[in-house]
Amino acid sequence: MKRLANWRLLLMFAVMSLLTGCGENYLSALKPAGEVAQMQYDLMKLSTAIMVGVIAVVTIIFIIVVFRFRRKSNDEMPKQVEGSHTLEIIWTVIPILLLLVLAVPTVAATFKLADVSPMEKKNKDGKTDALVVNVRSNLYWWEFEYPDEKIVTSQDLVVPTDEKVYFNLKASDVKHSFWIPAAGGKMDTNTDNINKFWLKFDSKSAEKAENVFYGKCAELCGPSHALMDFKVKTVSREEFDKWVKDMQEVKKPAKPETAKAQAGQEVFNKSCIGCHAVTPANSTPEKARVGPNLSNFGERERVAGILEHNKENVEKWIKDPESYKPGNKMTGKYNLSDEEIDAVSEYLMGLKVQE
């Protein structure tokens, strides 16, 4: 019993020290990388502090009880006590006060995080001053549309640091949930309605994460739910503006540079273009955007969101997507020879919008 009690105390200290930072900079909610995550982290710390206090009181009483009141002889007959009004009032009122301490900042933060009013404010061009991204989740991939900039990309979300980024969230097939743990809590992408929220990426924290954060799907959506990852590339405002401009300038698919890539483009135009666009303009309707937009595929962080980004993995993926992401919608939609896959991969790796 003694060991048990000591062990609990130790655990408590472990909690406190662990909470002060663990996990990876690019993934952990315990390494907040922006205003939203920071607010949530502060609430975590506040609630943990209160709760550790409660646990301490319970533990002390618990230890005393377990040691002092063990049965020493079988003839013992303790006094039968009915209760104590004083004690009962104490342990009713104190928890209420503690909860009030927690409830007030909770309510305040809940409203602050839900404030998306800048999304509604249109300036004279009919655009918003704040950056808005439409997130559309699909079975095992993510699409990011920048409506004011009129561009679409997928799998890699590009955002400027040190400003609020507003999101419209929805799902195209089943419910998913949009989560960038280091930047802030998640919000579901529903099939019925559009959810809105905002996040902010702090440039200093972004540097620590080498400017790439991990994003996850947090709602069970099918076999490859675990593999529905995306990446967030954080850049300064100037770099972001440049990226947008570069994207907007791509009116035609990037020119293949080698003969093989040329051949790859031909294959792509026959077999792949029905689902995958290679121009970033958002002029095609959502329904027609069946697969991830590949305009800047050569600059992406991962193949299919999960594999290291090299040509070999692109080939493997195209050859047998089912073995990497079971249940995906791409399997069986095409029939390509090894040679053709080789060519297409070369073509795809060359799709870049920035020099």
Min dist. Cβ of residue 288 to another protein (A) = 17
Virtual torsion, Cα 35, 37, 43, 49, nearest 10 deg = -120
Per-residue binding letters, 219-238, with another protein (x by CB under 8 A) = xxxxxxxxx-x---------
Contact positions with another protein (CB under 8 A) in 189-208: 190-193, 195-196
Binding another protein by CB under 8 A: which of 2, 20, 84, 124?
84
Note whether 43 binds another protein by CB under 8 A.
yes
Residue 196 or 311: the one with the smaller Cβ distance to another protein is 196
DSSP state letter for 345: H
Note whether 24 binds another protein by CB under 8 A.
yes
Choose one: 73-81, 263-271, 279-287, 331-339; the region binding another protein (CB under 8 A): 73-81
Binding another protein by CB under 8 A: which of 2, 71, 124, 251?
71
3 state SS of 113: helix
Note whether 212 binds another protein by CB under 8 A.
no
Choose one: 58-66, 141-149, 245-253, 339-347; the region binding another protein (CB under 8 A): 58-66
Q: Indicate the pairing of strand 195-200 with strand 184-189.
A: unpaired
CA nearest to 258, candidates 319, 335, 348, 334:
348
Contact positions with another protein (CB under 8 A) in 275-314: 306
b/e burial code for range 272-301 (CB count within 10 A of at least 16 → b): beebbbbbbebeeeeeebebbbbbbbbbbb
Contact positions with another protein (CB under 8 A) in 139-198: 169, 171, 173-175, 177, 179, 181-182, 184-188, 190-193, 195-196
Q: Output the CA–CA distances (angstroms, integers) from residue 174 to 11, 71, 136, 138, 327, in the order listed.
A: 40, 59, 11, 7, 13
Residue 136 or 186: the one with the smaller Cβ distance to another protein is 186
Half-sphere exposure of 44 (CA within 13 A, CB side): 18
* Whether the Cβ atoms of residue 224 and residue 325 lie closer than 8 Å to each other: yes
Residue 112 or 208: the one with the smaller Cβ distance to another protein is 112
